[in-house]
Amino acid sequence: MRVGITGHRGLSAEVEQQVRQALAEVVEAYDAAELVGLSCIADGPDAWFAEAALAHGGRIEVVIPAEQYRSGLPDWHHPTYDTLLNRASTVHRTGLDGSDSDAHMRGSELLVDQVDELLAVWDGQPARGYGGTADVVTYAEGKGVPVRVLWPEGATRD
């Protein structure tokens, strides 16, 4: 089972705890020997999902949207990013250099095109910029990839 992740970054500590729990519950329902998690391993749900998949005994594949992607992530996230990247069984690259919204969407499309299901940590609102979670969900739905939305009841984004 190849499962991808997309989701909002910058969630509060309370919402983070709820999302991590939801991701763990979803991941634990899969056969660990069959689970391959695909993620861009950004801070937030991308990394939390990859960590949960590995903790469950599954494998991860990483999608790198752009060669400059890591440098655009928060410095505090770099150790986690590097650890997850080093644990990836496969790394997929878009071939783009600059880490902008177009590259992020291209990376998400590459991810969606390779999965059986997409998990979306999504509040159901329109994307705040091109390549946001809503755009990825729309792309997945257009490709016929099932989307499972994980959003804690009553949660909000900043």
pTM: 0.96
What is residue 119's three-state secondary structure? strand
Mean pLDDT over the full length of the chain: 97
- Sorted by sequence, the CB contacts under 8 Å of residue 13 that are 6+ apart come out as none
Percentage of the chain beyond pLDDT 90 is 96
How are the residues of the chain apportioned to helix, strand and coil, as percentages rounded to the nearest 5?
40, 20, 40
- The per-residue pLDDT for 148 is 98
Give the pLDDT mean for 131-148. Answer: 97
Reply yes or no on whether the pLDDT at 113 is more than 80. Answer: yes
What is Dmax (Cα atoms) for the chain?
39
Reply yes or no on whether the pLDDT at 67 is more than 90. Answer: yes
Closest CA relative to residue 4, chosen from 29, 35, 39:
39
- The per-residue pLDDT for 110 is 98
pLDDT tens readout for residues 32-59 = 999 999 999 999 999 999 999 999 999 9
Within 10 angstroms of residue 79's Cβ, the number of other Cβ atoms is 9
